[in-house]
């Protein structure tokens, strides 16, 4: 099985690559298959995580996600699956409309256009976002709740979803769209995502550093761990198209928590000294973006298809400690 991954240098891409290298046989709609090749694409050279797997060929490419020639070379000869992760994150897309449109919308369209050259439709997995929802929402949001995003990032993801569904209807691809909850706890350093604080208020204090909480403690978010994202992405590759029904889009299961509950889990994991490292500094811009995202979902479709959430906030923190925590000396 040949798999192409865009945005392969990002943290989810890196974790997904490592998973495939450690688990080279995966479930597909036609049965278990061994991965024979990974084609990695990003605007910077995607590293190949250790330990590696000699049975899997690695093809690493650097290019612009809107470059049709580069994408054509990426999938030249055919691939069985494309996992499209390349994106500009929420705050960056809000700050620079042209950049967000180019990467999040035109980049997705370019990937789909490249697929039109293939002799058979590849399975295409698209990472969407909770940000597709917003505005005047019901108390509990469902997959079929109207999509009324309140940010450019969310709007661009909606447009990408519609393209995936239409190209699937036409038989050009076999699409799956997973709407991701806010991802926490992300490894590494804070990024330009509006929700970056949801990771930093756990990550930094547990590593001995201070962190800023820019939103009220009673604000709720809908979370999934990086470990959970990878688990669900891989699971999606094994589901037959007919099980998705009329829409290829679904919201992944997650955990709804307030900032206060997150801080309590931080204190249970790292003690009062970790909790004391979080300082509150309100940022109305961040609150406006993240506060527009719903936090309570009914995920009946995803549940019925075998997608899963983390157990609770303590499990999310434990996954970070086990997988990514760095201890400052």
Give the tens place of pLDDT for each residue, 71-90: 999 999 999 999 999 999 88
- Write down the pLDDT at residue 189: 79
Average pLDDT, the chain: 94
pTM score, two decimals? 0.93
Tell which residue, 128, 206, 134, 218, has the closest CA to residue 164.
128
Which is catalytic among the residues 20, 126, 153, 197?
153
Give the tens place of pLDDT for each residue, 207-256: 999 999 999 999 999 999 999 999 999 999 999 999 998 899 999 999 99
End-to-end CA distance of the chain, in Å?
43
Q: What does CATH list as the number for 194-221+255-323?
A: 3.90.25.10
Q: Return d(Cα 304, Cα 273) in angstroms, integer.
A: 42
Q: Is the pLDDT of residue 293 over 90?
A: no
Query: Helices (DSSP H) in the chain: which residue ranges?
Result: 11-22, 68-74, 90-95, 97-100, 107-115, 152-169, 197-206, 226-236, 259-270, 272-275, 284-291, 300-304, 313-323
- Write down the pLDDT at residue 329: 35
Q: Return d(Cα 224, Cα 204) in angstroms, integer.
A: 18
Mean pLDDT along residues 293-320: 96
Q: What does CATH list as the number for 2-180+224-251?
A: 3.40.50.720
Mean pLDDT along residues 200-204: 96
Cα 178 to its chain centre, rounded Å, is 8
- Write down the pLDDT at residue 194: 78
222 labelled catalytic:
no
Q: Where are the domains of the chain?
A: 2-180+224-251, 194-221+255-323
Q: Is the pLDDT of residue 328 over 50?
A: no
Q: pLDDT above 70 covers what percent of the chain?
A: 97
Residue 59's pLDDT band, with cuts at 50, 70 and 90, is: very high
C-alpha R_g of the chain = 19
């Amino acid at each position: 099985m040949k798999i192409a991954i865009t945005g392969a240098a990002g943290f989810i891409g890196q974790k997904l690559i490592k998973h495939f290298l450690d688990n080279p046989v995966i479930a597909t709609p036609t049965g278990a298959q061994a991965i024979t090749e990974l084609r990695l694409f990003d605007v910077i050279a995607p590293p190949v995580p250790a330990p590696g797997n000699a049975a899997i060929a690695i093809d690493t490419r650097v290019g612009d996600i809107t470059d049709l020639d580069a994408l054509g070379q990426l999938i030249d000869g055919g691939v069985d699956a494309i996992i499209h992760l390349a994106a500009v994150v929420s705050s960056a897309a809000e700050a620079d409309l042209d950049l967000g449109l180019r990467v999040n919308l035109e980049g997705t369209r370019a990937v789909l256009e490249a697929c039109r050259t293939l002799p058979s439709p590849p399975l295409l997995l698209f990472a969407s976002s909770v940000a597709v929802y917003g505005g005047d929402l019901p108390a509990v949001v469902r997959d079929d709740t109207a999509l009324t995003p309140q940010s450019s990032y969310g709007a661009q993801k909606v447009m990408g979803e519609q393209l995936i569904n239409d190209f699937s209807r036409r038989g050009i691809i076999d699409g799956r769209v997973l709407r991701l909850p806010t991802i926490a706890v992300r490894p590494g350093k804070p990024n330009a995502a509006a929700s970056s604080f949801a990771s930093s208020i756990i990550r930094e204090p547990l590593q001995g550093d201070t962190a800023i909480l820019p939103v009220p403690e009673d604000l709720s978010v809908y979370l999934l761990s990086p470990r959970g994202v990878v688990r669900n992405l891989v699971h999606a590759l094994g589901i037959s198209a007919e099980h998705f029904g009329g829409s290829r889009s679904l919201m992944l299961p997650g955990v709804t928590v307030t900032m206060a509950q997150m801080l309590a889990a931080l204190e249970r994991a790292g003690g009062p000294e970790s909790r004391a490292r979080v300082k509150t500094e309100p940022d109305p811009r961040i609150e406006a973006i993240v506060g527009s995202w719903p936090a309570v979902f009914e995920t009946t479709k995803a549940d019925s298809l075998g997608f899963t959430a983390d157990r609770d906030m303590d499990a999310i923190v434990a996954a970070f400690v086990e997988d990514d925590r760095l201890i400052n000396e």
